[in-house]
Amino acid sequence: MDAAFNIVDHFYYSAKKYPNKPAIAYQGNSISFSELEKQVSDTANYFLSKGIQKGDRVMLFVPMSMDLYRTVLALFRIGAVAVFLDEWVGKKRLEACCEIAQCKAFIGILKARVLGIFSKELRKIPIKLGTNYSTTKNNLAFPSTNTTDTALITFTTGSTGTPKAAKRTHGFLNEQFNALLEKIDPQPNDIDMPVLPIVLLINLGVGNTSVIAEFKASKPDSLDPQKIVKQLLTNKVNRIVSSPFFLKKISEHLIQNNIKLPHLKKAFTGGAPVFPNEAAIYTKALPDTDVQIVYGSTEAEPISSIEAKQLVTTQQGENKIGLLVGKLHRTTQAKIIKITNDSIEVTNETELNALELKSGEVGEIIVSGPHVLKEYFNNDAALKRNKIFIGDIVWHRTGDSGYFDIENNLFLTGRCNSLFYANGKLIAPFIYENYLQQISGMGTVMNINNTTTVVAEADKSNKEKVKNKIKNSGLFFEKIILITKIPRDPRHNSKIDYETLLKSIAR
């Protein structure tokens, strides 16, 4: 039996060390660490009184807010499993997640509970609660947990089919906590704007103040950069952790209005590829800020990172195709193996090494390390397809293609299933996407009916200009399709949603 441990212990330690420091600031209000600690304990008691027990899976449909983190920490405290749904989730995805997780309880805002009336899967859940809680007269004993107990389930975007449920134990969350802690390097007086939800949990664990950005993650296009910049200045935020979309919008507003953020010392962005053109926008808007671009995934965060300034200034030789994403994180191991759609079963390291490609050769990126997810919930097929097991060591298949150069820099060339051969050469989408971002905002290359097709954004005002630039780019293609807007991923609004794009073109 592993030693008793609960990921929420980090927060309780911070609450004792910084009782009067603001833990979370949101919509003009703030809550101190000591007050949040009291609310977490009261909420944990409330959940126990309602019949939620250790090991029960509890689905959450709560926007990023004080209520969300009070609820999550309370569930962790009693050993229940928080099943996290993104704000952008629709009825179809919600029901798919319900079917996978088989939850005992559901906690959500009013809108979600109303939606539940029309959802067969939600109606099956026995316990349904809002975000409010009441204090109980009798304090119930909190169950003890250990590193192998499940704490959190999140879902991949499911862009290639049914979403996968990523299962995180208290021990795994602690490994991820340590890996991100090392990367972010928080200081005692940091004030952070964490747009990525997991980072706010880290801030609560180290005693940093978190300012929740005032925008709806479910409607990213509604982001008002003027409002966010005002928050950053008013709260003297010195660190941002966000998606590329968020950071780009803020940076463009700063440049257009000649505004400086004198307190901002660090910015971290990830969740989607950042090409040199976009990195240049960051460095122009934030010349005195250390902007780091982090490469990772739901199952492995972080994998590698690179400074925005380095990405902008690095001169790539003719043999350096793809997107530079820097050096591996200290605790991450990675290999480049032959691309295959089949599951991979090996019995030892020698057999795995036989699949490994040479420096400069493009293949699938696989990663291993203490912060790399080892299992999915209730999905043996995904486990077999996405993991390689060698004894106790688990390698995660990222589904991304890329290579290492002779200096061990990692380059991305696109999703494995997006690579194809044409005109006798490997077509790597990231080469096209890098160029198209500079001339049209977003675009890619696809093999449509055995035709190498460039798909790019353009409206009536710049259609001919974009088309001419593509024709003169020197890139190989056989057809050009221009559309008003390339569909983005629903989580970060930064990556191309290839499946939706292909469907829209095929109509």
User: For the chain, how many residues are written?
Assistant: 507
Calculate the average pLDDT of the chain.
91
Strands 420-422 and 425-427: antiparallel
User: Nearest-5° angle of CA 329, CA 392, CA 296?
Assistant: 25
Average pLDDT estimate for 472-494: 87
* pLDDT tens by residue, 4-23: 899 999 999 999 999 999 99
Query: In this model, does residue 109 exceed pLDDT 90?
Result: no
Tokens of 162: 């049914």
Instruction: Report the CATH fold assignment for 419-506.
Output: GMP Synthetase; Chain A, domain 3 (3.30.300)
Average pLDDT estimate for 36-44: 96
Nearest Cα to 490, choosing from 224, 100, 155?
155
* pLDDT tens by residue, 422-477: 988 889 898 899 889 888 778 999 999 999 999 999 988 899 999 999 999 889 99
Written out in words, the top-level CATH class of the domain with range 9-169 is alpha beta
Indicate the pLDDT class of residue 318, thresholds 50, 70 and 90: very low
Domain residues of the chain, as ranges?
9-169, 319-414, 419-506
Query: In this model, does residue 496 exceed pLDDT 50?
Result: yes
User: How far apart are alpha carbons 327 and 504 in whole angstroms?
Assistant: 37
User: How far apart are alpha carbons 315 and 328 in whole angstroms?
Assistant: 20
- Which CATH code for domain 319-414? 2.30.38.10
Q: What is the largest CA-CA distance in the chain?
A: 75
Counts of helices then strands in the chain (DSSP H, E): 17, 25
User: How far apart are alpha carbons 58 and 402 in whole angstroms?
Assistant: 38
CA dihedral 456, 458, 464, 467 (to 10 degrees): -10
The amino acid present at 491, given as its one-letter code, is R
Residue predicted with more confidence, 493 or 265:
265
User: How far apart are alpha carbons 336 and 331 in whole angstroms?
Assistant: 17
The amino acid present at 69, given as its one-letter code, is Y
Average pLDDT estimate for 471-490: 91
Indicate the pLDDT class of residue 114, thresholds 50, 70 and 90: low
Q: Which residues contact 309 (CB under 8 A, 6 or more apart)?
A: 279, 283, 291
State the CB neighbour count (10 A cutoff) for residue 64: 21
pLDDT at 317: 43
Average pLDDT estimate for 298-320: 82
Query: In this model, does residue 115 exceed pLDDT 90?
Result: no
* Range name among 156-160, 169-173, 349-353, 485-489 with the lowest pLDDT average: 156-160
* pLDDT tens by residue, 51-106: 999 999 999 988 889 999 999 999 999 999 999 887 766 777 778 888 899 999 99
pLDDT at 505: 85
pLDDT at 283: 97
Average pLDDT estimate for 237-256: 96
pLDDT at 139: 78
